[in-house]
Structure 1
Amino acid sequence: MRYLLIIMLFVLAACGSPAGDDSAEDSVASEATTSEEPSEEAEVTKETTEESETETNEDETKEPIPPEERVEIIKDERAGIIPERIEVPSIDVDASVKHLGLLDNGEMAVPESLHDTSWYEPGYKVGAPGNSVIAGHVDDTVNPGVFKQLHTLEPGDEVIVYGESGEQLTFEVYDKQLFDADEAPVEKIFGYSQRSLLNLITCEGPYDYDVGGTPNRWVVYTELVNSEES
């Protein structure tokens, strides 16, 4: 506030003069002359306004962009579905899909029934960007499980998943790999991807009763190729 008052005092001092001083008339005359002659600032403002009006007129006369030259805006609509049933025609699989998470030991839970599969629910929805995972038993050492023949799938084979609202997603096998259970690439199997991937998992090898499992894992990699709504 102090600085503001000082500035105001200087302004007032410049505007006034003692009564009867001839310099006052000269000052008034000078102000009158100055007000009649356009300042450089006024000329610059006028030029700027004229340029702005010219640019506006030019914009109004521009032709619209032809449709073939316009950029297509592509939106990612892959929200994914909650799987309820899975079909793998080439190995005669038609099974329900349970929704399971992790066991206390950190392993992916699997269904109690040999004939059901399980979707890893904490992971990605089926059909969404990312690696969704569905697992199934290979056998119980005596009876065959739902994924007994999973290892026989080849690139091009189809996997069809049905959602709880009737959605139907078709995936296509593009690769398969056999891993040691302790060395499987978890990030590649369960992690994020810009592609909509579905990985099918089952066990392989002789059952080890001391460990309570088999030593290896088959992973069949599939990618979304078609989606339909009923």
Structure 2
Amino acid sequence: MRQYLIMGLATALCITLFFILDPLNGNNPEKPETKQQETVQTAAKPAEQKTPSERLDTQYKDKIAEFPVRPAQQEKLSELRQERLDNLEGMKPARISIPSIGVDAAIEETGVLDNGEMGVPEDVDQVGWFEPGFKAGAEGNAVLAGHVDSLTGPAVFYELDQLEKGDQFTLTDADGREMVFEVRGTSSYITDEAPVEEIFGRSDQRMVNLITCTGDFNRDIGSHEERLVVSAELISDSAMKEQAPDAPDNLKLTASSLSWHAVRDDAVIGYRVYEEDLESGESEQLATVSLFERKSIPLEADESKRYYVVAVNVDLKESKKAYIPEE
């Protein structure tokens, strides 16, 4: 009996070892081969077959409008933009000229008097700029005030009430920057009822309000009973005129191309080429040329057209038109 038991255990052990060792012998049924997927790759376009614009789009990912720029240039261009924005901020006015009423006067800074009113210069021939408020030319309402008269006669703003809508005056700062303002309207207010926020407060426009006394003189308070406010808006800034780049030069037209010389200005980011119809005077843009491309385009000239090139700066302002010199 014991002999049969040992033989049974041995048989069971052999069967168990068979199932354990058989996979190691590589005797598993063969699995069907999996067909490898073929990877289809599109051949890259050779560099020599790419257009200049395609090559630039690959090399320079950053753009300003349609002009590619190197990433390393962005910091420099950002600095230039900031400088230009600083130039477009308001200024501290140093002088005012109003030709239509014969005013040409110095401006001094003034503040708030103890009674809460805006101060005015002691010199009745000078104008005061409210320094705690907005600078001239900034978005908001800058305020300039002057006397209308004095014990000895007329003062600097004696004829301010003669200004009409459309009249202009000029403010100049200590560095010679000039701003031209155009009158938009005039208003008179009883002194205690003047809309202070409207005269001194914020605005989306670049405004200057000229203020002087008007109405009857009240001897009890030692002042006129009303205030005249002339509101004017900025229409020209000499700093803004400097934003346009120089025009390209040395334009040459051959039988098959138009070329020019680059403008030496760090703010220039490219060029635009236009054709102008001689009969109608209408212009149409033909091409955009980046800073990194050759300063030329293929062109078959049309006798009914003339051609010009402009430089474009980081503010997207165009230079004056550069035409092909007449022979």
Give the distance between the partners of 2:209 and 2:138, measured in 1 at CA: 13
The 5 Å alignment of 1:113-152 reads: 113-140=123-150, 142-152=152-162
Q: Can you give the 5+ residue segments of structure 2 that lack an aligned partner in the other structure? A: 1-16, 55-64, 68-80, 243-327
Give the whole-Å Cα distance in 1 for the aligned partners of 2:144 and 2:89: 18
How much does 1:181 deviate? 1.0
* Partner residue in 1 for 2:226: 216
Name which of 114, 122, 127 aligns with 1:112: 122
Cα-to-partner distance string for 1:36-86 (whole Å, 9 max, x where unaligned) = 869xxxx9xx99xx8xx88x99xxx99969xxxx579x9855212111110
Which of 92, 109, 112 is 1:102 aligned to?
112
Where 1:99 maps in the other structure, the secondary structure is strand
1:84 aligns with 2:94: yes
The AA in structure 2 aligned to 1:97 is I
Aligned partners of 2:170 and 2:179 also within 8 Å: yes
Quickly say closer, same or farther: Cα 1:25–1:160, change in 2 above 3 A: same
Cα contact 2:216–2:226 (8 A) shared by 1? no
- Identify if the C-alpha distance between structure 1 residues 111 and 64 changes in structure 2 by more than 3 Å, giving closer, same or farther: same
- Size of the aligned set, in residue pairs, is 193
Which residue does the alignment assign to 1:93?
103
The TM-score with structure 1 as length reference comes to 0.68
The answer to which of 111-120 and 134-143 deviates more is 134-143
Please, which of 218, 222, 236 is the counterpart of residue 226 of structure 1?
236
* Equivalent residue, structure 1, for 2:9: none
Q: Distance in 1 between matches of 2:144 and 2:27?
A: 94
TM-score (norm 2): 0.50
Cα-to-partner distance string for 1:70-127 (whole Å, 9 max, x where unaligned): 579x985521211111011111111110101111221101111111100000111111
Shift of 1:143: 1.3
Relative to total residues, which structure has the larger helix share, 1 or 2?
1
TM-fit CA distance, 1:210: 2.8
Mapped contact 1:78–1:129 kept (Cα < 8 A):
no
C-alpha spacing 1:29/1:181, structure 2 compared with 1 (3 Å): farther
Partners of 1:172 and 1:86 lie apart in 2 by: 13
2:135 aligned with 1:155, yes or no? no
- Give the letter for the 2:204 counterpart: Q
Whole-Å separation in 2 of the counterparts to 1:24 and 1:141: 125
1:176 aligns with 2:180: no
Q: Which amino acid aligns with 2:157?
A: F
Match of 2:196 in 1: 186
- For 1:24 and 1:101, how far apart are their aligned partners in 2? 102
Kept after mapping to 2: 8 A contact 1:130/1:194 = yes
* Counterpart check, 1:204 vs 2:209: no
Aligned partner of 1:16 in structure 2 is none
Cα-to-partner distance string for 1:154-182 (whole Å, 9 max, x where unaligned): 11111111101111111111110111111
Q: Does the CA-based 8 Å contact 2:111-2:119 persist in structure 1?
A: yes
Per-residue CA distance 1:123-163 (angstroms, 9 max, x = gap):
11111111111000011255111001101101111111110
Q: How far apart, in 1, do the equivalents of 2:173 and 2:22 lie?
A: 93
Change beyond 3 A, Cα 1:62–1:165:
same
Tell me the amino acid that sits aligned with residue 158 of structure 1: Q
Greater share of residues in strand: 2
2:253 is matched with none
